[in-house]
């Protein structure tokens, strides 16, 4: 069986040393030594400041909304946030869960990210924020989005779950927006088994969020505001530290897989156009086929050979009734969602396996 992705398992010997330290200190959570170490090392590696580790990427989004006042209630008016329908469900469901109405605007058909040209038409008096997604690690048009946000006095929270290590014009892409969130789920390029992080533009937002992830508690007898339990624990941090030690090899492995696919599939499929000035982290290998029928045919052909691919992202979220979202016309997102497929990519995927997958893709794509 060839899965669509496979969690990277780092050195067991190194992980055991971290676990031994946890047992010796008997400090399992609440901003332990390893969480502090991982925070500092990630800030250094990513070239950012004001990074806050949390227990998963969905809570990273929810805490960011709260810390930035996006979900603050106003009598008689539900807050709204403009986002993309071409994303994982958590981007929109985290808004809805937190009392913010998702409003979908359509994507750019080439970059597959939220199209800035479609944002202003979706703005209402209740709009509090823009929540774009760096889809598959591809940078959004951050300058255009930033200009719109400034013009209308809106917050920008980037769902950067796929964008670990991506740079834009020589600096971390994660520096853009009022906040950017990361997911450290087991299948991500960098992971902690589970986990996530928020990178804030302003120190004061970081300090507020630090209180929020620990129930609002600021001392043994002090609770300053409402909060939730969103802390990363020491076991997660231990895994993250081990993976971070090997991140250069992980990145190189995935880049090699991408380049091998590119060799076998050159000119045969539509691919995502990478934003000018941005690096790419090879976290995914998405392609778009001619139509949905070909996607279904390819999925079946691959499955018959023990190969799992994924229709990611499908469906377009503006079609998900449970979200009860409002939207402008999102035809580009719907068309892409019908045609998209992510091929297997992970460290250890062999050249002959990539060749076999590519052959089956080529047969259907013809």
CB 113 within 8 A of CB 106: no
CA angle 138-140-145, nearest 5°? 175
Give the C-alpha separation, 165 to 280, whole Å: 8
Q: Give the DSSP H/E element, type plus range, for residue 152.
A: helix 142-152
Long-range contacts of 23-32 (CB under 8 A, 24+ apart): 27/234, 28/233, 28/234, 28/235, 29/231, 29/233, 29/234, 30/214, 30/231, 31/231, 32/233, 32/234, 32/237
Residue 336's φ and ψ, nearest 5 degrees, are -70, -40
Report strand pairing: 222-223 vs 340-342: unpaired
Catalytically annotated residue among 175, 188, 211, 360: 188
Give the C-alpha separation, 304 to 18, whole Å: 42
Give the C-alpha separation, 30 to 237, whole Å: 12
Residue 270's φ and ψ, nearest 5 degrees, are -75, 135
Residue 329 in tokens: 């016309």
Has 188 been annotated as catalytic? yes
Residue 307 in tokens: 């190969």
Catalytic positions: 188
């Amino acid at each position: 069986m060839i899965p669509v992705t496979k969690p990277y398992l780092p050195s067991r010997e190194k992980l055991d040393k971290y676990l031994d330290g946890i047992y010796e200190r008997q400090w399992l959570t609440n901003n332990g030594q390893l969480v502090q170490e991982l925070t500092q090392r990630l800030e250094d590696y990513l070239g950012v400041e004001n990074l806050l580790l949390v227990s998963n990427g969905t809570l990273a989004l929810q805490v960011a909304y709260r810390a930035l006042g996006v979900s603050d209630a106003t009598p008689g008016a539900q807050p709204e946030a403009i986002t993309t329908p071409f994303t994982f469900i958590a981007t929109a469901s985290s808004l809805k869960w937190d009392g913010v109405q998702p409003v979908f605007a359509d994507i750019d058909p080439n970059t597959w990210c939220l199209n800035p040209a479609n944002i202003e038409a979706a703005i209402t008096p209740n709009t509090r924020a823009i929540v774009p997604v760096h889809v598959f690690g591809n940078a959004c048009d951050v300058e255009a989005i930033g200009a719109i946000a400034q013009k209308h006095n809106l917050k920008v929270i980037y769902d950067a779950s796929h964008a670990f290590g991506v740079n834009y014009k020589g600096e971390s892409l994660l520096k853009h927006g009022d906040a950017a969130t990361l997911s450290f789920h087991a299948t991500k390029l960098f992971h902690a088994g589970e986990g996530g992080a928020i990178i804030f533009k302003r120190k004061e937002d970081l300090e507020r969020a630090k209180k929020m992830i620990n129930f609002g508690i600021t001392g043994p007898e002090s609770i300053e505001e409402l909060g939730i339990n969103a802390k990363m624990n020491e076991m997660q941090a231990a895994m993250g530290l081990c993976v971070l030690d090997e991140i250069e090899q992980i990145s190189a492995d995935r880049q090699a897989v991408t380049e091998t696919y590119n060799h076998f599939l050159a000119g045969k499929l539509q691919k995502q156009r990478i934003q000018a000035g941005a690096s790419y982290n090879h976290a995914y290998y998405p392609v778009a086929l001619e139509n949905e029928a070909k996607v279904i045919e390819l999925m079946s052909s691959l499955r018959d050979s023990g190969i799992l691919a994924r229709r990611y992202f499908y469906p377009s979220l503006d079609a998900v009734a449970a979200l009860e979202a409002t939207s402008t016309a999102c035809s580009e997102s719907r068309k892409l969602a019908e045609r998209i497929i992510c091929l297997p990519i992970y460290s250890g995927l062999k050249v002959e396996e990539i060749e076999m997958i590519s052959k089956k893709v080529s047969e259907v794509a013809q």
